[in-house]
A and B are shown apart, each in its own frame.
Chain A
C-alpha cells in the first residue's frame, strides 16, 4: 500500500492542477454529486442519529451520577462535530462511494475504455478523476454538517427521554451552544475535506491501476475501501494533533 503513496500523491497533484477546468466538467460533477447524495443521505442520517444516541446513553448516566449532567450537551456537541461525524461519515462514504468509483474506473480500465479516451486525446484524469474528486470534496463536508445536526438531535432525544438521564431539552441546548463554537464546526469540516480527498484519490488510483479481468476489479474495490479507511483513521490522529496545536 505504501509504495503506492507516491503515485497517489502524484495523481492528487495532477488533479489539483486541473482544478481550473472543473467548470467544463460541471455536468459530470453534478451527476456525481447527485449519485453520492442519493446513495448516502439516508444512511448518514440513520448512522448519525444512533451515534448521537449511543453517545448520550454511554456518557449521560455517568455524568448525571456525579452531578455533571449539565455538560452533556457540550460533550455530545463537540465530539460529534470534531470527531465522530467526520470519521464515521468518511468511513461510510469510503465503503459506499469509494468502492463504486474504484469499480467503475476499474472496469473502464479493464475493458479498454480508458485506452479509447486516450486515443481521443481526452485525459482520463480530467474526464474521470477530476469530477469525482471535486464532487466528493463538496459532498462530504455537506454530509458531515448534516450528520452533526442529526447526531445532536439523537443525543438530545436520548438525554431527554432516557429515565436515567432525563436532561431537559433547554439545558442540553444551552450547554451545547456555550461549548461549541464555529471554529469547532470548521475543524470537523476541514477534516472531512481531507478525508474526501483521501477517498477520491485512493479509489480513483486503484481503479486506474486495475489489471486483469473481473477478479482484478474486485481486488481494486477491496483495496480502495480498506486503504481509504486505514488512511482516514491514521491521518485523523495526526490531523487532530495539528489542529489542536494550531488551536482551531
Chain B
C-alpha cells in the first residue's frame, strides 16, 4: 500500500443496485440504484430524514443492506480483502473524532495504526493537513475543546490523511462559515483534479452542490427522485426537486401578520 503515491485516477467506481433497508420498522431506503463513476464528484441532496446518512453508511460498509448490493469497481463491498485494497474515508455528520486523544493524534491515527510512516513523517503530514483545513494551532487540543465547525474540519483532515480512493462527506460544510466552506469546497475539487479521487458529498448547501458537483442525485423518503448533471437537475420537471431548489428565505411581512386578526 502506497498511501501517498500520486498516481492519477485512483478513484473507484461505486455501483448501488436495488438497495433496501428498514430501520426501526420503517423503510428508510427503497430500491436505490446509483452509479458513481471513478473520479467523479457526486452530490446527494435531499431533505432532512430522507436517508442520506444511512445510504452513505451502506456505501462504506457500516450498515448491511436488507436487499440489493453495493459494488466497488465491480466487486461486492464485503468481498474478503476489499477493504485492504481500497481506502475508503468518511467524514461523519457528527465528526466522530475520538474524544480521548488529541486532534493531531486523531488526524494521524490511520497512519500510526497501520504503521505507514515514521512518527516524524506522520507529524509532518498531520501538520500539513491541519494547516490545509485551517487548524494549524489546534493540534494539541482535544476534540471537546473545539467548536463544531473546527471538529468538522479536523474530521476532514483525518479523512484526507488516508489519501483515499473514495471519500464520503456527510454535510461537510453544514457548520462552517462561508469562507471556510469555500476552502473545503476547493479542497474537495482539488483532490478530484489532482488525484482523481471519487467523492460522494451529502449536503443541503445548494451553492456547494452546484459548485462542485459533476452530477447530483436528489433523494426523498428513501427514493432517488432525479439524477443528472447540475444543469439537468436545475431544469428537472420533478416538483419536489424544484421546491427544494427554489426554497428562499423571504422577509416575513410583519406588518400584515400583526394586523391580521
Of residues 94 to 124 in A, which have CB atoms within 8 Å of B's CB atoms? 104, 107-108, 111-113, 115-122
Residues of A within 8 A of B62 (CB): 115, 118-119
Which 9 pairs across A and B sit closest by C-beta, in order of nearness? A116-B96, A112-B96, A120-B110, A119-B90, A122-B113, A113-B98, A115-B62, A121-B83, A119-B60
Partner of B96, one of A104, A113, A121, A122: A113
B99 CB contacts on chain A under 8 angstroms: 107-108, 111, 113
- In this complex, the member of B62, B96, B97 whose beta carbon has the largest number of chain A beta carbons within 10 angstroms is B96
Number of chain B residues whose Cβ lies closer than 8 Å to a Cβ of chain A: 24
Smallest beta-carbon distance A2→chain B, Å: 26
Q: Is A121 a contact partner of B114 (Cβ separation < 8 A)?
A: yes
- Which residues in chain A, 64-101, are within 8 Å of chain B measured between CB atoms? none
Chain A, Cβ-Cβ closest to B63: A115
Q: How far is the CA of A16 from the CA of B61 in the complex (A)?
A: 25
Indicate if A146 sits at the interface (CB-CB under 8 A): no
Residues in B with CB closer than 8 Å to A117 are 98
A-B CB contact pairs (8 Å), 13 listed: A107-B99, A113-B96, A113-B97, A115-B62, A116-B90, A116-B92, A116-B96, A116-B97, A118-B61, A119-B89, A120-B89, A120-B162, A121-B83
User: Using Cβ atoms and an 8 Å threshold, which residues of chain A touch B92?
Assistant: 112, 115-116
Q: Is B88 located at the chain interface by the 8 A CB criterion?
A: yes
Q: Say yes or no for A127: interface residue by CB 8 A criterion.
A: yes
Q: Are B60 and A120 in contact (CB under 8 A)?
A: no
Contacting pair B115 A24 (CB below 8 A): yes
Residues of A within 8 A of B245 (CB): none
Complex alpha-carbon distance, A115 and B90, angstroms: 10
**Do most interface residues of chain B lie in helix, strand or loop, or is the interface mixed?**
loop
Residues from chain B with a CB closer than 8 A to the CB of A127 are: 113
B226 within 8 A of A: no
Instruction: Give 1 or 0 for each of B44-78: 1 = CB within 8 Å of chain A CB.
Output: 00000000000001001110000000000000000
**In this assembly, does B242 line the interface, its C-beta being within 8 Å of a C-beta of chain A?**
no
Interface digits, A112-152 against B, CB 8 Å rule (1 contact, 0 not)? 11011111111000010000000000000000000000000
Q: State the CA gap A108–B60 with chains docked (Å).
A: 19
A108-B99, A118-B61 given; name 11 further pairs at CB < 8 Å.
A111-B96, A115-B57, A115-B62, A115-B92, A115-B96, A116-B90, A117-B98, A119-B62, A121-B84, A122-B109, A122-B114
